[in-house]
Amino acid sequence: MGEISTSHGKIFTPVFMPVGTQGTVKAMTHEMLLQMNVEIILGNTYHLYLRPGHKLIESLGGLHRFISWDRPILTDSGGFQVYSMSDLNKVTEEGVFFRSHIDGSAHLFTPESSIEVQTALGSDIIMAFDECTPYPAARQQVAESADLTARWAKRSKDAHLENSDSALFGIIQGGIYQDLRAKSAGDICSIGFDGYALGGLSVGEPKDQMFEIVEYTVPMIPEDKPHYLMGAGMPADIIEAVSMGIDMFDCVLPTRNARNGYAFTHNGKIIIKHAKYKEDALPVDPECGCYTCRNFSRAYLRHLFMAGEITAAVLLTIHNLHFYLDLLNRIRQSLKSGRFCDWMAMNLPRYKEAYP
């Protein structure tokens, strides 16, 4: 339980950051995000660099002004997307050559260019450029990759302007190998960053391995700096990760699942197209206070979804984001009152069962 100060205000942690890949949280207006008290959103450097371009955004006053969002923004480094989304890529010491998934054009991302792009965007929290190793990957490959990430982290730090308003976070790699994580944590922490992320997790490895690595690595990170577990986002994962000292989360699950008709509730998921909701007059979650649950029935949302209405995506996204914000709020409250362990013992099993 803590807070992070940025040039666009404070964030209270542990915090969930909705993903706004292309300059909007999908299907949302910024007014909706403000109404549900979203404190920080994440923007994807890879996407914004390719379209509409960081120079365009900079010339129009930066990302905050472009998207009309005056609360904090964290941008990722582009590293993960370069591997997962672009058509071709080649990694060298210099950086990563890749082709755009939009038009096939050729590009090079380096630690310096990633920081330059994120600075042009005006991000509040900038991520160092890293290589995200896949799972499974051979030990030797992971070791070399983590070393490259460490050299890139140093170059990222050097490229980050001293007088910048933005914070710079380093990313610890090392796959599922404890000793490689320890080495990476040592390398990254010795460079010195404003916060530290665990990268290369939630990429397909078994959950126990992920938590083994989180539990093992967190104690190696300076306690007074934010700890960010990138990409993890099932409800139980968040709770467990908080218990291990993680402060920040991002995940596309609430927004993507909403568009697919999957609603989160504290009592399990609702697949809205199921016939059993056809005449169901209850809201998605009778205990939820979101706009969608205050106004609409499952039957109505099912109808909108089956009819292909955009409004279905809008209303379910509002609900799912509210669910995540509410979950983090419950966690923060229990931390504040010193009862987190009790709360977790009581609640973790049902989230695990509901969202395996």
Report the residue number, 299 or 335, with the smaller CB distance to a second copy. Answer: 299
Cis status of the peptide bond prior to 111, with omega within 30 of 0: no
Closest CA to 150 of 108, 107, 111, 178: 111
Which residue in 120, 221, 315, 325 binds a second copy (CB under 8 A)?
315
Report the residue number, 67 or 221, with the smaller CB distance to a second copy. Answer: 67
| Catalytic residue chosen out of the listed positions 124, 187, 247, 250 | 250
Q: How far is CA 20 from CA 44, 60, 133, in A?
A: 7, 18, 24
Which residue in 37, 59, 209, 333 binds a second copy (CB under 8 A)?
59
Q: Does 321 bind a second copy (CB under 8 A)?
A: no
Q: Is 70 a catalytic residue?
A: no
How far apart, in whole angstroms, are the C-alpha atoms of residue 156 and residue 135? 25
Q: Does 281 bind a second copy (CB under 8 A)?
A: yes
Q: Does 279 bind a second copy (CB under 8 A)?
A: yes
Stretch that binds a second copy, among 46-54, 91-99, 162-170, 261-269 (CB under 8 A): 46-54
Q: In this structure, is the dihedral angle defined by the CA atoms of residues 22, 158, 111 and 219, taken in order, positive or negative?
A: negative
Q: Does 23 bind a second copy (CB under 8 A)?
A: yes
- Draw the binding track, 67-106, toward a second copy (x: CB under 8 A; -: no contact): xx--------------------------------------
Q: Is 224 a catalytic residue?
A: no
Closest CA to 178 of 214, 151, 207: 214
**Residue showing tokens 């755009």:** 100
Stretch that binds a second copy, among 55-63, 121-129, 157-165, 166-174 (CB under 8 A): 55-63
Count the residues of the shown chain that bind a second copy, applying the rule CB under 8 A. 40
Which residue in 17, 28, 234, 331 binds a second copy (CB under 8 A)?
28
Which residue in 304, 327, 328, 344 binds a second copy (CB under 8 A)?
304
Which residue in 135, 177, 262, 291 binds a second copy (CB under 8 A)?
291
Q: Are 187 and 145 in contact (CB under 8 A)?
A: no
| Catalytic residue chosen out of the listed positions 76, 124, 187, 285 | 76
Q: Is 189 exposed, middle or buried (0-12, 13-18, 19+ CB in 10 A)?
A: middle
Q: Does 52 bind a second copy (CB under 8 A)?
A: yes
Going edge to edge, which strands form the sheet with 248-250?
A: 15-17, 248-250, 227-229, 195-198, 167-172, 125-127, 73-75, 41-43
The strand pair at 106-109 and 96-99 is best described as antiparallel
Q: Does 275 bind a second copy (CB under 8 A)?
A: no
Element (H, E) at 298: helix 298-306
Q: How far is CA 294 from CA 199, 263, 286, 315, in A?
A: 38, 15, 9, 11
Q: Does 261 bind a second copy (CB under 8 A)?
A: no
Q: Which two tokens stand for residue 118?
A: 């994120």
Stretch that binds a second copy, among 111-119, 202-210, 242-250, 299-307 (CB under 8 A): 299-307
Q: Does 295 bind a second copy (CB under 8 A)?
A: yes
- Residue 120 CB, shortest distance to a second copy, in Å, is 15
Q: Does 273 bind a second copy (CB under 8 A)?
A: no
Q: Does 341 bind a second copy (CB under 8 A)?
A: no
- Residue 306 CB, shortest distance to a second copy, in Å, is 7
Report the residue number, 57 or 232, with the smaller CB distance to a second copy. Answer: 57
Closest CA to 166 of 155, 157, 174, 175: 157
The strand pair at 73-75 and 41-43 is best described as parallel
Q: Which long-range contacts (CB under 8 A, 24 or more apart) does 94-97 make?
A: 95/129, 95/152, 96/131
> Binding residues for a second copy, per CB under 8 A?
22-24, 26-31, 47, 51-52, 56, 59-61, 66-68, 259, 278-279, 281, 291, 295-297, 299-300, 302-304, 306-307, 309-311, 313-315
Which residues are known to be catalytic?
Answer: 76, 250
